[in-house]
Structure 1
Amino acid sequence: MVKIYLPSQGAEEWRRLLADPAKHWREGYSAMCLAKCWENAIGLPPEIARLLTSVGPSAELLVALPEHKVPLPGSNRGDSQNDLFALARAGDHTVAVTIEGKVDEPFDQPLGLWLANASNGKRKRLAFICDLLGLTQPLPERIRYQLLHRTASAVIEARRFKTDAAAMIVHSFSSTRRWFEDYAAFVALFAATAEPDQLVCVRPEGAPPLYVGWASGEIHDHKTLKAMDTRP
């Protein structure tokens, strides 16, 4: 894969990067909401900037890469395709941030389903992620696998870019904060408590320190929409 990235000319350019541009690019769904929000912000969206002030003052965006793929060991689907990867500066600290956009879509499969008849590759990948995040198996079956590998991506990229901290942030556009309970269950794995619109350091002694957060974006009414997030 060529590692040359061109400046964006608008939200529509994000569409071609999707795993399924026809299916995933729809008004009111996470891919389009995230693209429009970040493009309109011309920098960090204010709700993201507020969270990153937990790391340091005056948070600013350095670079953002939509649909950023991070290789993981095991399984035939070798990459975690993050909705957005950003390098940000907060005071004297640089932060590697993976962003998971959400409206009504769930966080993919719970571990109990993802591990059903699991291959050796899947088990190898989960062991790698748990070791990276300092988690002990077995994990509760209700934990959403997507949150695990998105957070692992943040740590991997933080080490690759040698940033001062890593962060995984759920950027939600749901008026009811749908699926927050799944995020909270994930945060509880680290003996921490999740709160909306807060960034919590779940591994302060990690290398690098790891943060997770839930940011509330511009609210939309999606009562008639169907959950359809099937991206890897």
Structure 2
Amino acid sequence: MKRKRFTEEQIIAVLREHERQWRTGYSAKTLAHCWENADGLPQEIAHMFDGLVELLLALPEHKVALDGGNRDSQNDVFALIRFGDQTCAATIEGKVNEPFGPPVGEWFAEPSQQKRDRMCQLCGLLCLDEVPPSHIRYQLMHRTASALIEARRFKTDEAAMIVHSFSPTRMWFEEFASFASLLGVEAEPDRSSKVVLKSGQRLRLGWATGNGDFLEC
């Protein structure tokens, strides 16, 4: 099967703020060059899975609709991945030194009804009984929820949210680890961890270190 990939031109076309985001040393450009130069999946992403791994589909800046408001969750890469005899719907969050956006305590301070609706949906998908602690990063919640939504839509065996980090110092890993812990997962760099949510959905979380050479592209 021919792998579905994307070009630099396709990514630029869908970026919301072209000049600010498409810069050397920043995540959008770095991630695009890494994925376009890979033979299928970048090696560090393939290592998040067991057995023979194959990229079936990759879409840049993939939007997933969420309750509350008009702004979708825009995922850096959405990938359908086959590993062994299983399939996975994965959202990939590219990072260099950029943070994960505001913490829940800031995003959900004096929330509107739209934000309440969205938080209710996210907590439902993530099988959380209450709004997460204030330090948890909201972006990690909706990126992971996106993977769960798409896993149901494509009827895959599992969902995955993987941070593809090109930071030499692993900036923001502790924030990722705190989020993973919330879901009962112990995070470690360059490996994935799996959990079965109360809903029965299988979820994989991972932190993959990207090739720093792409920071110079």
Output the TM-score relative to the length of structure 2.
0.93
1:72 deviates by: 0.3
CA separation of 1:144 and 1:7: change in aligned 2, threshold 3 A: closer
1:170-189 map, 5 Å: 170-189=163-182
Provide the C-alpha distance between the structure 2 equivalents of 1:37 and 1:19, rounded to a whole number of angstroms.
20
Match of 1:227 in 2: none
1:50 pairs with 2:36: no
Match of 2:84 in 1: 91
1:154 deviates by: 0.3
1:136 pairs with 2:129: yes
Q: Determine which of 38, 44, 47 is the counterpart of 2:35.
A: 38
1:213 pairs with 2:206: yes
Secondary structure at 2:201 match in 1: coil
1:17 pairs with 2:14: yes
1:123 deviates by: 1.0
CA separation of 1:123 and 1:35: change in aligned 2, threshold 3 A: same
Provide the C-alpha distance between the structure 1 equivalents of 2:5 and 2:141, rounded to a whole number of angstroms.
30
**CA offsets per residue over residues 153-208 of structure 1, 9 Å max, x none?**
00000000000110000000000000000000000102221100111112266443
1:70 pairs with 2:64: yes
Match of 1:110 in 2: 103
Secondary structure at 1:185 match in 2: helix
Identity of aligned residues (%): 55
Provide the C-alpha distance between the structure 1 equivalents of 2:5 and 2:92, rounded to a whole number of angstroms.
19
Provide runs of 4+ in structure 1 moved above 6 Å.
none
Which stretch of the first structure deviates more once superposed, 63-72 or 108-117?
A: 108-117
* CA contact 2:30–2:214 (8 Å) conserved in 1: no
* CA contact 2:196–2:202 (8 Å) conserved in 1: yes
Which amino acid is the alignment partner of residue 37 of structure 1?
C
Size of the alignment, in residue pairs? 212
* CA contact 1:68–1:82 (8 Å) conserved in 2: yes
Which amino acid is the alignment partner of residue 22 of structure 2?
W
Alignment root-mean-square deviation, CA: 1.7
Provide the C-alpha distance between the structure 2 equivalents of 1:127 and 1:87, rounded to a whole number of angstroms.
27
1:162 pairs with 2:155: yes
1:27 deviates by: 0.4
Provide the C-alpha distance between the structure 1 equivalents of 2:86 and 2:167, rounded to a whole number of angstroms.
30
CA separation of 1:58 and 1:7: change in aligned 2, threshold 3 A: closer
Which amino acid is the alignment partner of residue 75 of structure 1?
G
Match of 2:23 in 1: 26
1:22 deviates by: 1.4
Match of 1:82 in 2: 75
Unaligned runs of 5+ in 2: none
1:16 deviates by: 1.4
